[in-house]
A and B are shown apart, each in its own frame.
Chain A
Amino acid sequence: MAVILDMLVQFCQMTVVLLLAPLLTGYVRKMKAQLLGRRGPPLLQPYRDLLRLLRKEVVLAHSASWLFRVAPYLVFAATWVAAALVPTFATGLIFSYAADMIAIVALLGSARFMLALAGLDVGTSFGGIGSSREMMIASLAEPAMLLVVFTVALLAGSTQLSSIAAFMQGPGVGLRVSLALALVALVMVAIAENARIPVDNPATHLELTMVHEAMILEYSGRHLAVIELASFVKLLLYVSVIACVFLPWGVAVSGQGFAAYLTGFAAYLVKLAAGGFLLAVFETAIAKMRVFRVSDFLGAALMLGLLATLLLFVSRVT
């Protein structure tokens, strides 16, 4: 019986992630528009876009292989599984014991690999450019992300997100410069990975410097819908990881009962709203940088991660 209940909660979590992801993106878009003094699309616009794309016919290039058709589903599956492993409203869910933070990084890495392959598959020049740039970003963003994981894991003594969240709520954390550095590095990685503004512009399909959009330029119909949904889920995943590691307050622990889940869910919604708002403010305040400056940006993230790990060795032992 208990197992069935655990499965049910886990299933709820996966559904919540899937259903909230377009809403978060819509919220960020709305906020950005309002900060610029425009009215902006309605909050539910991403859902409508997805439904419209699902109804449309798929147009395939003549040179597209089976890989091109399979890649969107693989990308989506890897991203969704990674999102299912992140504690959102409750920690200690049944799936979270199957894999840790390193596995999440690996899942996201394989999703990106599939997408880059798909970008190369058709053989257009745009896809190739997008894939090569994505790989350049990944080669710096992934080590930076792993260093953040190492920092947090060295402190908490575990790479398990649930244990990390429990540790962060405990009294043993204190005030740590390493955690601040890790937070900044993680935010920078999240911005780069989700193709947000200083690195890539999520709102355009018409720019020579685009990265993510260049890779998926050949996709249409339900394939495009699935890829878009995967990118929405990825944004939600990064906000959730940041919230879970650095702001774990209010998260329910598995098995605490229905009321705890409800408060956890409310806290999660507040955190998402705050994260989305901050992202919108940041994106409005900053200009997009040249593609060749991106390596400097991510190099700084990598350096912060390294420094955070190094500084831990001279800090107070817990």
Chain B
Amino acid sequence: MIDPLALDVAHLFAGSLVLVSFMLLYQDRMTGLINIFALHALVVSLSVAWQAYIQHAPHLYITAAIALVIKAVVIPFALHRIVVRLGIHRTIEPVVGVGLTMLAGIGLVALAIMVMLPITAQAGTLAREDLAFSLSVILLGLLMMISRRNAVSQVIGFMSIENGLILAATGAKGMPLVVEISVAFSILVALIVIGIFLFRIRERFETVDIHLLHEHRGEQP
């Protein structure tokens, strides 16, 4: 049986991760958004490190370190540079209906909890809350991807989904190290590909507002 205080700390980190996801949804300034994404990755690595400590699973420390180095330092740094080079670091993205998005987010968190709690009734407390919170983070990331028009914010939404997946894997006694490392590198590759794409989009349409793409596909805006 795990010490209640240790559980509370794990709950604190996982709960903060959901909160930071909401901050991502709320933030409309580009620089602030990237900084909050760095915070998101920092919280996830703290959470994984704490669970490595209480589950006595040393390989999870490596997961935490990878999350910290790649997603809290390298990717935000690269995104800052991309955003500055695209010249959109000062833009304020017109987020339509923050209140409505927030309410939808709360609904998604409630949905995640309602779905996960009955399913994982047999599992330990730690796994239950990790799975519930990670599903919330994933759904919030998806919500962010569909509610934003700017391609860079969509990239950040995508990366936050990956953070949710790490949390889920941690709760299930950790994933194999090979998988973890390959996932981390595929995320890096994805960032590079997306970065190149962003520049291509900008070259072609002189903006990164993806609504212009819809018109070119023949959809009505």
Residue numbers of A with Cβ under 8 A of B are: 174-178, 181, 295-296, 299-300, 303, 306-307, 310-311, 313-316
Contacts and interface: CB of A to CB of B under 8 A. Distances in A.
B36 interface: no
Given A303-B22, A307-B22, A307-B109, A175 B102 contact: no
A79 B84 CA distance: 54
A311 B5 CA distance: 17
Given A175-B5, A314-B128, A316-B4, A296 B19 contact: no
Contact of A178 (B15, B110, B133): B15
**What range describes how many residues of B lie at the interface?**
20 to 34
A299 B18 contact: no
Interface string B1-21: 000110111011001101100
Given A303-B22, A310-B106, 5 more contacts: A175-B5, A175-B9, A176-B12, A181-B15, A310-B113
A282 to B, nearest CB: 20
B152 to A, nearest CB: 23
B96 to A, nearest CB: 14
Contacts of A181: 15, 19
Interface of B: 4-5, 7-9, 11-12, 15-16, 18-19, 22, 26, 98-99, 102-103, 105-106, 109-110, 113, 116-117, 125, 128-129, 132-133
A176 B11 contact: yes
A176 B26 contact: no
A314 B129 CA distance: 5
A174 B5 contact: yes
Contacts of A178: 15
A315 B129 contact: yes
Interface of A is mostly: helix
Contacts of B15: 177-178, 181, 311
Contact of A314 (B9, B16, B132): B132
A308 to B, nearest CB: 9
Given A177-B16, A181-B19, A307 B106 contact: yes
* Most chain B CB neighbours (cut-off 10 Å) among A178, A181, A299, A311: A311
Which 5 pairs, one residue from A and one from B, show the smallest C-beta to C-beta distance? A177-B15, A175-B8, A314-B129, A174-B8, A177-B12
A310 B102 CA distance: 14
22 contacts: A174-B8, A175-B8, A177-B11, A177-B15, A177-B16, A181-B15, A295-B99, A299-B99, A299-B102, A300-B26, A303-B103, A306-B106, A307-B109, A310-B106, A310-B109, A311-B15, A311-B18, A314-B113, A314-B116, A314-B133, A315-B129, A316-B4
A121 B100 CA distance: 35
Nearest to A180: B12
Contact of A316 (B8, B18, B105): B8
A316 B125 contact: yes
Contacts of B22: 303, 307
B11 A316 contact: yes
Contact of B102 (A303, A313, A315): A303
A146 to B, nearest CB: 15
A154 B128 CA distance: 20
A57 to B, nearest CB: 47
A94 to B, nearest CB: 36
